[in-house]
Chain A
Amino acid sequence: MAQARLILEELKKCHVTHVLSVPDNMSRALLSALWADGEIEVILVTREGEAFAVAAGLWVGGKTPVVLIQNTGFLETGDAVRGTGTRMRVPLLCLITYRGYAKWAASGLEATPETLNAELLSNMAYDSTAILVEPTLRAWGIPYDFLHDDTDVPKISAAFRKAQELEQPVALLMTKDTT
Chain B
Amino acid sequence: MLTKHQFLATLARWRNDAVVITTMGTVVPWARFSQTPLDFASCDSAMGHAADFALGIALAQPQRKVICLNGDGSMLMTLGTLVTIVQTGAKNLILCVIENSTYEVTGNQPIPGAGVVDFTGMAKAAGFPRTYTIDDVATCERLLPAILSGEGPVFVTVKVAPDEDAPPSRRPDAQAPYLRISLAESVRQLRRALGSDQ
Contacts and interface: CB of A to CB of B under 8 A. Distances in A.
Interface of A: 18, 43-47, 49-50, 52-63, 65, 79-80, 82-84, 87-90, 167
B56 A47 contact: no
A65 B55 CA distance: 13
A46 B78 CA distance: 9
B179 to A, nearest CB: 14
B168 to A, nearest CB: 14
A57 B46 contact: no
B178 to A, nearest CB: 14
Contact of B46 (A44, A54, A60, A79): A79
A49 B56 contact: no
Interface of B: 44-49, 52-61, 78, 80-81, 83-84, 87-88, 183-184, 187-188, 190-191, 194-196, 198
Contacts of A63: 56, 59-60
A52 B87 CA distance: 17
B56 A59 contact: yes
Nearest to A89: B184
A97 to B, nearest CB: 20
B183 A56 contact: no
29 contacts: A18-B59, A50-B49, A52-B49, A53-B52, A53-B55, A54-B52, A55-B56, A57-B55, A57-B57, A57-B60, A58-B57, A60-B53, A60-B56, A60-B191, A60-B196, A61-B60, A61-B194, A61-B196, A62-B60, A62-B191, A62-B198, A63-B60, A83-B44, A83-B45, A83-B46, A84-B49, A87-B44, A87-B184, A89-B188
Contacts, number: 115
Contacts of A52: 49
Nearest to B54: A57
B194 to A, nearest CB: 6
Nearest to A18: B59
A84 B53 contact: yes
Residue in A44, A46, A52, A90 with the greatest tally of chain B CB atoms within 10 Å = A46
A89 B67 CA distance: 23
Given A43-B88, A46-B83, A50-B52, A61 B59 contact: yes
A50 B78 contact: yes
B80 A58 contact: no
Given A47-B80, A59-B196, 7 more contacts: A60-B53, A61-B56, A61-B58, A79-B47, A79-B49, A87-B46, A167-B184
A90 B183 CA distance: 11
B49 A83 contact: yes
B84 A45 contact: yes
A80 B46 contact: yes
**Nearest 5 Cβ contacts at the A-B interface:** A57-B56, A61-B60, A83-B46, A46-B80, A62-B196
A56 B56 contact: yes
A53 B60 contact: no
Contacts of A60: 53, 56-57, 60, 187, 190-191, 194, 196
